Structure 1
């Protein structure tokens, strides 16, 4: 997967999907979120990421532009943010060291991947709010997105937030021939990809879906009825609840 190409394509799709749409239109999968706020949020996110890259550390409030300037169209705010961050990422090799908020990957490649998925997710939100058919991504992109949300958000962000589960549970997440195990509980959360399908038998429960469905379900954009679940439903509910805290 060329994350830079995905980012460019998804930013263009998001912008095209938002053109001419009333900003107050709600995002069906995210009650309380509307189209205009989604577009602004993406533009702000590009500028936060750019701050990490150029400052070499986490940008502090006031060091990045969170909202459009007076009179600036939110869509233009999003587009100029995309142009700036794409220019910065293109100027650096993906393996070049760069400040990030994930110690496992402190390179420009982190931001290529992170912003590619952030933009893809919100492009789908905008299309849903606009009443459009939500465009699919390739299986490769979706499977990488599954890995990212499990490893980065469940496995890392929850620990940063100091959030813990209430009970020990092991849930398998299967997408075609790709399998992850997630462990949640009072000691923290973790996720890792495994090779042997027999490892799924160790789990208290299992969730199975095609790549695009699992990608969207893990991000809270699809209901449980669209994925196949077996085993301990409470374990799956805990995984779901912790993901919502990690990714909010």
Structure 2
């Protein structure tokens, strides 16, 4: 999967929607408008640009907030996207780089993470503009795998995810993807394949990813939840 190219495409889509009205509220992020959304992403990318080239696994330095004025913010965002895309493309994926999970601390983590971060936020921005933006099923399925294997274990270990112990099964219907997730205390065990769990979620990859990120409910169109549906809430990474 060409994560740098996917990151670039999602970043451009986000700005195309958000720039139509930076003061428009973002329904998926209560209390946010598009200005705050663009600023949030730009600051994340500024932090990425600051820490990826260092070749160390220490936490990154703090970066300043982007400018609030519309034209300056848009230009700042564009520069941050261009700088980040160049690093994701040019740096060795195996080079050391900090991340906040239990995964290997290498540049390759950020190639995947930022592609998915921007996919979700591009969807957020589209909603603010009143646009429908279905998620690419293959990228969404990979996003579910990242959430379950990388983000959820870190969140659960830190006590940031919802409570609940048991097993949950996710089965995608529009692209390959099937996981069994075991939750026990601060531990998360993820395997591939078909099995019956205490809870189940079946449906399309895009809606499933959005539900796991709390953008929609697990009863959203395209999804069917089974069993102890409250346990599905514990799959959200916080």
Q: TM-score, normalised by structure 2?
A: 0.87
- Per the alignment, residue 180 of structure 1 pairs with 179
C-alpha change, 1:73 and 1:135, in structure 2 (3 Å) is farther
- Per the alignment, residue 17 of structure 1 pairs with 17
- Per the alignment, residue 2 of structure 2 pairs with 2
Q: Which runs of 5+ in 2 are unaligned?
A: none
C-alpha change, 1:12 and 1:167, in structure 2 (3 Å) is closer
**1:105-128 CA distance string (max 9 Å, x none):** 222211111111111110110110
C-alpha change, 1:49 and 1:234, in structure 2 (3 Å) is same
- Per the alignment, residue 233 of structure 1 pairs with 229
- Per the alignment, residue 91 of structure 1 pairs with 90
Shift of 1:235: 2.0
- Per the alignment, residue 222 of structure 1 pairs with 216
Q: Which runs of 5+ in 1 are unaligned?
A: none
Q: CA RMSD in A?
A: 2.2
> Whose helix fraction is larger, Structure 1's or Structure 2's?
1
- Per the alignment, residue 48 of structure 1 pairs with 47
C-alpha change, 1:106 and 1:18, in structure 2 (3 Å) is same
Q: TM-score, normalised by structure 1?
A: 0.84
Name whichever of 170-179 and 35-44 sits farther off.
Answer: 170-179
Shift of 1:130: 0.9
- Given that 1:18 and 1:75 are in contact with CA atoms closer than 8 Å, whether structure 2 keeps it comes out as no
- Per the alignment, residue 143 of structure 1 pairs with 141
2:171 & 2:106 partners in 1: Cα distance? 28
